[in-house]
Amino acid sequence: MKAGNGNIGNIRTLPSMFYKDPSLLEEMKEMIFARSWQLVTDVDRLKAPGQVVPHSVMEGFLNEPIIMTRDTDDQLHCLSNVCTHRGNLLVEGECHAQSLRCRYHGRRFALDGQMVTAPGFEDVPDFPNDTDHLQSVPFAAWRKFLFAAPTTDSPLFALSDLTQPMSERLDFLPIEEYVFNPARSRDYIVRANWALYVDNYLEGFHIPYVHPDLAQALDTKEYSNEIFDYASLQIGVSSTAGEGFDDIPKDSPDAGRDIAAYYYFLFPNMMFNFYPWGLSINVVTPLAVDRSKVSFLSYVYDESKIGTGAGAALDKVEREDEDIVERVQRGMNSRFYDSGRYSPKHEAGVHHFHGLIREFLGID
């Protein structure tokens, strides 16, 4: 773990041009996002052999079509969802199948991606070869969640490097029992750069000023952050005794504390927010240099706790965040602003995030 509050007060934040330049966003598409881990689904949708789940990675930005399958040997696979003949999309909806058949020219693939038959290619020499099978996509799992890195190269880092901080702190949570709740899940469109939304998430500095109800639910004096290689954690302590997690182990660094929320940021664009009622995952997808989609995915464990503490009224908190971030986006167009300075006490997470962006883009 890295220090969370180093002497960063004399360092400048990212320049305003970063949040306005479309060419930088295009550069990040290949250098960061295409080589990063992105949440695909959970294993509940792939329990039985023959289950097939198509997914468009970062819909509206990367738009990479992939398929998650569980084959007849009970093995999971992540494959390109593009037929190797003429590029047709193979699977258009979640299904149960013994094989994958392209409805353009009838080419058929096994659930592990190996080509089985190809009408019209009976006399073609050196057929099939490796290019005729579906390409495998790097994927990995953390607890019940499945992630893919839609790259033809290699991911920037291992998924375990990203998720290890959660594993070490939250092994006591029965995450496999959390159930996806579509009624509590939705997408928000934010008229701001994706990184401004992340900047805002990564500091609790704004909570007393932007989120009056959340500020009452949290003891803001006890708010803290921890920095890891590719992730960071903000810990919210409940202002009301008994509204935090009630099953924190005695050997945890949080034992004896009323923890209201664990806010984990996973670089570059995912937030895993753990509350006593369950988990809210936020995935931020750039749509344009000044427009983003934020997908809220809710996994419920204890419905009786949904209306209490820091995990209550998340829609209201989101709309408050949208309002302030959209105002900041407009401020970035000012002729009189270029960059600011980091608060050493509150903005270590923002500084760390900016440092990773600079590192992977190769800029000073």
User: Torsions phi, psi of 69, nearest 5?
Assistant: -130, 155
Q: What CATH number was assigned to the domain covering residues 161-361?
A: 3.90.380.10
Question: How crowded is residue 321: how many other Cβ atoms within 10 Å of its Cβ?
Answer: 20
The model's pLDDT over 277-322, given as tens digits with 9 standing for 90+, comes to: 999 999 999 999 999 999 999 999 999 999 888 888 899 999 999 9
CA atoms of 36 and 149, how far apart (whole Å)? 5
User: Torsions phi, psi of 78, nearest 5?
Assistant: -125, 120
Q: 1 vs 239, which has greater pLDDT?
A: 239
The model's pLDDT over 81-116, given as tens digits with 9 standing for 90+, comes to: 999 999 999 999 999 999 999 999 999 999 999 999
Q: Token digits for 239?
A: 């202002």
CA atoms of 77 and 254, how far apart (whole Å)? 37
The domain ranges of the chain are: 38-148, 161-361
* Predicted pLDDT of residue 212: 92
In this prediction the pTM is 0.95
* Predicted pLDDT of residue 242: 86
Is CATH 3.40.50.2300 correct for 38-148? no
The model's pLDDT over 245-284, given as tens digits with 9 standing for 90+, comes to: 988 999 999 999 999 999 999 999 999 999 999 999 999 9
HSE (side-chain half, CA atoms, 13 Å) at 341: 8
Average pLDDT, the chain: 95
The answer to whether the CB of 210 falls within 8 A of the CB of 309 is: no
What b/e string do you get for 143-171 counting C-beta neighbours within 10 Å, with b at 16 or more? bebbbbbbbeeebbbebebbbbbbeebbe
Spatial CA neighbour of 96 closest among 52, 144, 48, 34: 52
CA atoms of 189 and 4, how far apart (whole Å)? 31
Angle (CA) 93 95 100, round 5°: 90
Work out the pLDDT band at 5, boundaries 50, 70, 90. Answer: very low
Q: Token digits for 134?
A: 């579906």
The answer to whether the CB of 291 falls within 8 A of the CB of 189 is: yes
User: Torsions phi, psi of 296, nearest 5?
Assistant: -95, 120
Work out the pLDDT band at 6, boundaries 50, 70, 90. Answer: low
Q: What secondary structure, in 3-state letters, does the chain show?
A: CECCCCCCCCCECCCHHHHCCHHHHHHHHHHCHHHCCEEEEEHHHHCCCCEEEEEEECCCCCCEEEEEEECCCCCEEEEECECCCCCCECCCCCEECCCEECCCCCCEECCCCCEEECCCCCCCCCCCCHHHCCCECCEEEECCEEEECCCCCCCCCCHHHHHHHHHHHHCCCCHHHCEECHHHCEEEEECCCHHHHHHHHCCCCCHHHHCHHHHHHECHHHCEEEECCCEEEEEEEECCCCCCCCCCCCCCCCCCCCEEEEEEEECCCEEEEEECCEEEEEEEEEEECCEEEEEEEEEECCHHHCCCHHHCCHHHHHHHHHHHHHHHHHHCCCCCCCCCECCCCCCHHHHHHHHHHHHHHCCC
